[in-house]
Chain A
């Protein structure tokens, strides 16, 4: 396995150039955005992240045999051993809206677009793309104002640059999983350097601003006023479909304005965090994933955001995993036709992804936050929108939920929910704990009762 090598690489990088990041969030100033009933035990804010892997998994080596506490860790999940007590495996969840339901082929595209929305995507190559608002964006729209960035959208693959993605579905469905409105997929950032610069690059915390800097900022604000004014004038002359594009534009401008205002009155002192500036997108895939995980940890730790989504690969990805001696394309392999040799390769790919999840969870666990760790105050949902890559089925999805949710989730169990329980019911329960409850999301029919033992 290549884990040892990657660890070594990491240490090498850590010796590189570092910057100091101030932690703006201090316990005494902690905003109490979380729901009092659910998170009374925690003074720290809740964080949530969603991680997607493509092409389903090899379920026989994923699903624990036993239920409840102390479950066994099958081959694919075995890298989770160091954090098993912080991880709950949930079997039996379903994304019905990932099924064709009269729309024919296109399971891969649907598996990503449905993953956080629970909404049937409109089958279209290019006109009037429609999905639903994703769970992370529901949370971001309710609570995102508390942080400089409402949410982060990350990935390792930049999406296809040509050709078709899946059976008549625009590539927007395959390469995005966060949707801020039913027609607006949120493009993801794949370069860790750009994530880092975006999070921390705008202005050194605590820097004293002289007269010139103040004037520059004033001029920039006047530019923002000007362009939103122009956008509104333009919008009033346009037809309906075009007006919506201007809405996206105006939403972006408002976000930037809000950020400038926030930066002005954020507290400036606290603990220093040393982290090397990433050099860009590494060639090594494991390193790439881990850098992205580090970005989420840093963002949570410094309270730049509390919500993140991360596609380890795009839906239907045919990436080759030769660093773990699987040279075949992942999608190609996932159509295993029951072939044992292919199963063996698929489960190594699945295990590789879970190894990276384990790295992320361990990083969160080793980062102090309030009276516990970041992991204690997080909910990390990991899984695939397809169950088996060959059958392309959407029931009994491979899903884990990690992190204590501020003491609101009893972790360390394998729970099995009744057949056809919507995945969105899990989202409902997560949104409750995040302090942003809603009446429904996607095709939810209620809440998941089993997150408390």
Chain B
């Protein structure tokens, strides 16, 4: 439903980013996802009245970042479709439900399609720290172009990473699951899926 998507979008825009993000002095080159500070969720509408949100808990990403010209950056992501957290309130049913979501042919069908991937093909800078990243999303064996709205959150240099830069991003997009061949429970579960990411990338060691 439009209401949900709009409110999620507004929220994303108003999230507190670093007070003064900067690209100055940020290293260009290869970064890897800092998995302990990275969140990827999908949200569908349930019965047209609430957002049902599930976390992907096992995913990885490589970023070739160009701090001078961010639009030249490249991103590749791989997601394990069986690693899901639904926060279902009953422990035994939670296991069953997540197994069903991960493996059932109506849902992630991971036995046949064990990886979801995204590979960027182009990017565009739309603001000082905002842009879009377009790429090929492969889900259920179907590849479709998807465009992410991305905002850069800034750079950090926690002492335990030495001189390596840590850079953060928040990204979101919406897609129609039917375009990837998933039409199960139409009418109860929306076709539109909102994907949200926020996380950090750690400069790779040379």
Q: Do A and B bind each other?
A: no
Using a CB–CB distance below 8 Å, which chain A residues touch chain B? none
